[in-house]
Structures are given as structure tokens and as C-alpha cells.
Amino acid sequence: MNCLACTHPLDGPGRLCPGCTRGLDERLADLPRQYLLLGLAENLQRRRTGDRGPVAVVRDAPMPLSEAALTLRAEGGIVTVLEGWRRQMQAARGWGVPAEGGPYARRVRDAARGLRMSLEWIAAEWDDAGELAHGVQGLAARCRAVTEPADPAQRARLLGYCVAPYGDGSPCGGEVRLSHGEKVAGCRWCGCAYPSATWLGLHTAQPEHTGAAGAGAAA
């Protein structure tokens, strides 16, 4: 018998190897947090809309909302994928349909928890464990593509820290990075776009402590 997710040979009977089981568990545990992070980014963007900021040249930039964040948080996104898996799992175990309801954040948490509580059975016995592991892996990757910086191999150049105001008017402060081959940089946090015409404005608007962020490729 091989692991249904990574196809490595298993020591004994089972469906998932220890590594894939652990990975599935960690991703399920992290998805509720990812859901909240996506919402935070979305809220900052919404609150900023209509604000008058101190950096006009930046405020004139178009503001493409992170489509990915919206899609993942909407019906059909994280909540639907996880609840679908939990329903399928419970049916496979001969259990009834799980209770689903309340705010999306709670539904995401409940569905992830329900799957984790059956993790031992999933890894040992469920024929769909491989598909579940791959599905959750893909979902987690889509979330992290929005909430976390790109991996080092394709790391985008750091231009500075986002000066777009939101809410109380204080700057967003997210990393503004320029991806390879792109002409428009973007804030990783609020999604504010910085076309090349705004880069000088961004540079001069940086707080004094700009050098603190490690990557520092823009220096």
C-alpha cells in the first residue's frame, strides 16, 4: 500500500503516510487563521476607500481589490470546500449530515475541526484521503499566495512600505513589492497598486525606519 497523497510506500496498512497526515492536520488547523487574515486585508481595503490621504500621487493609483481574497472568502471558497469534505467524510463513516451555520468564520472553523477530529480514521481508512489531502493543500496554497509573501525563488523586489491611509488615516505599512517583469507594484497587505509614476512619491513618503525589513532589495 502506498500513501494516497504522495505515493510513498507505507509501513503498514493505511491511506496516508505520517508526513502527509501531519501536513493535512497543520493545514486544516491553519485555514481558519488564513480565513481571518484574508478578511483583514479585505476590510482594510474597504475602509480605505474614500479616504483622503496625504500622498495624492499614490491616492490616484487604481485600487484593484485582491480578487483572490474575495473569492476565497465567499461562498464557493474556503467554507464550501471544507464543509463539502466534512460532509463527504461523515457520509463515508455512516454519520449524519453535520450541523452547518452561523458566520463564515465559524463555519470554516467548525468544518476544519470536524475533519481534524477524524484525522486518525482518514489517514488509516478513508479511500478519499489522498484527494482530501491534495484539495486542502491546494486551498492552503491559494490562501498563502495572498496572505504571505511569495517564496524566495520568485521574491518580488521591495520598493517600500505602503503609505496609503486607511480608517484613522495612519499608513497601511504593508510591504510594497514589484514582481519580476511587472510595471505595477502592489501592497501585499491592502492590495493598493503602485504604478511606476508613483514610485518616487512612495520613496519620499517612507518613514525614516524603512531599512528594517530584511529583504531590502530596493536600497
Task: Please give the residue ranges that form the binding site for Zn ion (CB under 5 A).
Answer: 3, 5-6, 17, 20, 162, 164, 172, 174, 187, 189-190, 192
CB 123, min distance to Zn ion, A: 9
CB 184, min distance to Zn ion, A: 14
Amino acid letter, 122: I
- Closest CA relative to residue 136, chosen from 167, 108, 158: 108
Q: Which is nearer to Zn ion, 114 or 130 (CB)?
A: 130
CB 188, min distance to Zn ion, A: 8
Angle at 106 between CA 105 and CA 109, to 5 degrees: 90
Q: Which is nearer to Zn ion, 5 or 140 (CB)?
A: 5
Q: Which is nearer to Zn ion, 17 or 38 (CB)?
A: 17
CB 21, min distance to Zn ion, A: 8
Strands of the chain (E only): list them.
Answer: 157-161, 165-166, 170-171, 175-178, 184-187, 193-195
- Closest CA relative to residue 172, chosen from 195, 141, 193, 151: 193
Q: Which is nearer to Zn ion, 77 or 174 (CB)?
A: 174
